[in-house]
Amino acid sequence: MKEYRYNGPVMEFDRCIANSWEASTFAVSEAKARSNLVYRFKKATNRLPNTKITLPGKLTLVQ
């Protein structure tokens, strides 16, 4: 597994709700890492599971 780090904006239904959110996760692919981070953000901010959250910034692979 690889460690991925995200530092950037968070969008809810195409509206920016956080200018700079930072988190990291371990995953087998970038797509799975993005999914893990979206799930973590929803849990941390008490959002419903069907809320559309997107992370438009880049994920960086930690070496």
Task: Examine the pLDDT at 56 and tell me if it is beyond 90.
Answer: yes
The residues, ordered by sequence, that sit 6+ positions from 36 with a Cβ below 8 Å of its Cβ are 25, 27
Distance CA 14, CA 23 (A): 20
pLDDT greater than 90 at residue 60: yes
Determine the pLDDT at residue 13: 95
Give per-residue pLDDT as tens, 10-53.
Answer: 999 999 999 999 999 999 999 999 999 999 999 999 999 999 99
- pLDDT of 63: 80
8 Å CB contact between 42 and 52: no
Q: What is the pTM of this model?
A: 0.93
* pLDDT given for residue 22 in this prediction: 97
